[in-house]
């Protein structure tokens, strides 16, 4: 399903569109290294105060409608 991932730290939010074969549940961990490129990971890691750069925690899952498409918006917390 078309998915909008929002990787959130204390100082910055980064958006990424992808297609996930599953919808994660609240408070689950997701391996961010499987989704993002190393340069995108470094950008998020630099904005985080304390993050290992490996996994994030799902904070919210919302279903949205854009034009004629439905998609899932997922907030991922990237702080340890």
Provide the pLDDT for residue 24.
87
Give the torsion through C-alpha atoms of 77, 35, 30, 76, to 10 deg.
20
Provide the pLDDT for residue 23.
82
pTM: 0.89
27-53 pLDDT, tens digit each: 999 999 888 999 999 999 999 999 988
Provide the pLDDT for residue 1.
81
Provide the pLDDT for residue 56.
94
């Amino acid at each position: 399903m078309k998915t909008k991932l929002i990787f959130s730290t204390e100082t910055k939010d980064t958006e990424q569109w992808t297609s996930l074969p599953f919808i994660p549940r609240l408070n689950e961990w997701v391996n961010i290294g499987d989704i993002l490129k190393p340069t995108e990971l470094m950008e998020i890691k630099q904005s985080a105060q304390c993050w290992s750069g490996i996994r994030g925690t799902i904070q919210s899952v919302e279903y949205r409608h854009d034009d004629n498409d439905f998609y899932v918006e997922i907030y991922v917390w990237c702080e340890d």
